[in-house]
Amino acid sequence: WTNPDRPIADLDELRTRARAVLAQNDKGTMVTAAPNLYPHQWSWDAAFVATGLSTVGVPRALAELDHLLAAQWDSGMIPHIVFADEVQLRGAGLRGAGYFPGVDRWRTERASPAGVKSSGICQPPVHATLVRRIVERATSRGGEDGRLAEDFARRTLPQWIRWHEWMRRARASDRSGLVTIYHGWESGMDNSPRFDGPYSRVHPGDLEPFVRTDTRIVEDASQRPSDEEYARYLWLVQQMADVRFDDARLPGAVDFQVKDVFMSAAFAAANEDLAVLAERFGHSDEVTRLREWSAEFREGVDAAVDPATGLARDRDLLTGEWISLPTIAGFAPLLSTADPALRAAQLVLIEGPEWAGDPRLAFPLPPSTSTTSPLLRPREYWRGPVWPVMTWYIAEAMRRHGDGGRYARWREASIAQLMEGHFGEYYEPFTGEPLGSYHQSWTAAVALEWLD
Return the number of the residue (44 or 256) whose C-beta is nearest ligand 2M8: 44
> Which residue number is nearest to ligand 2M8 in terms of Cβ?
188
Q: What is the distance between the alpha carbons of residues 305 and 303, in angstroms, rounded to a whole number?
A: 6
Residue 176 CA to its chain's centroid (Å): 22
Pairing of strands 81-82, 179-181: unpaired
Residue from the set 26, 45, 396, 420 that interacts with ligand 2M8 by CB under 6 A: 45
Q: Check binding of 38 to ligand 2M8 (CB under 6 A).
A: yes
Angle between helices 43-53 and 388-400 (to 10 degrees): 70
- Residue 327, classified by CB atoms within 10 Å of its CB into exposed (0-12), middle (13-18) or buried (19+), is buried
CB of 304 to ligand 2M8, least distance (A): 21
Q: Check binding of 190 to ligand 2M8 (CB under 6 A).
A: yes
Return the number of the residue (80 or 439) whose C-beta is nearest ligand 2M8: 80
3-state secondary structure of 259: strand
Catalytic residue chosen out of the listed positions 214, 396, 420, 425: 425
Catalytic residue chosen out of the listed positions 26, 45, 186, 190: 190
Q: What is the distance between the alpha carbons of residues 360 and 370, in angstroms, rounded to a whole number?
A: 12
Residues 6+ apart with CB under 8 A from 117: 82, 83, 85, 103, 108, 109
CB of 206 to ligand 2M8, least distance (A): 23
- Residue 49, classified by CB atoms within 10 Å of its CB into exposed (0-12), middle (13-18) or buried (19+), is buried
Let me know: does 179 contact 264? Beta carbons within 8 Å.
Answer: yes
Residue from the set 30, 42, 223, 350 that interacts with ligand 2M8 by CB under 6 A: 42
Return the number of the residue (107 or 289) whose C-beta is nearest ligand 2M8: 107
Residue from the set 188, 330, 378, 432 that interacts with ligand 2M8 by CB under 6 A: 188
Main-chain phi, psi angles of 259, to 5 degrees = -80, 115
- The 243-282 site mask, x for binding ligand 2M8 (CB under 6 A), equals ----------------------------------------
CB of 95 to ligand 2M8, least distance (A): 16
CB of 40 to ligand 2M8, least distance (A): 9
Q: What secondary structure does DSSP assign to 177-220, as a single string?
A: S-EEESSHHHHT-TT-GGGHHHHHT----SPPP----HHHHS--
Return the number of the residue (31 or 161) whose C-beta is nearest ligand 2M8: 31
Q: What is the distance between the alpha carbons of residues 209 and 371, in angstroms, rounded to a whole number?
A: 37
Q: Check binding of 44 to ligand 2M8 (CB under 6 A).
A: yes
Segment 80 to 99, residues that bind ligand 2M8, using CB under 6 A: 80
Would you call 425 a catalytic residue per the annotation? Answer: yes
Return the number of the residue (72 or 437) whose C-beta is nearest ligand 2M8: 437
DSSP E strands, 43-90: 81-82
Q: Which stretch binds ligand 2M8 (CB under 6 A): 39-47, 59-67, 355-363, 370-378?
A: 39-47
Query: Residues interacting with ligand 2M8, by CB under 6 A?
Result: 33, 38, 42, 44-45, 80, 185, 188, 190
Which residues are catalytic, by number?
190, 425
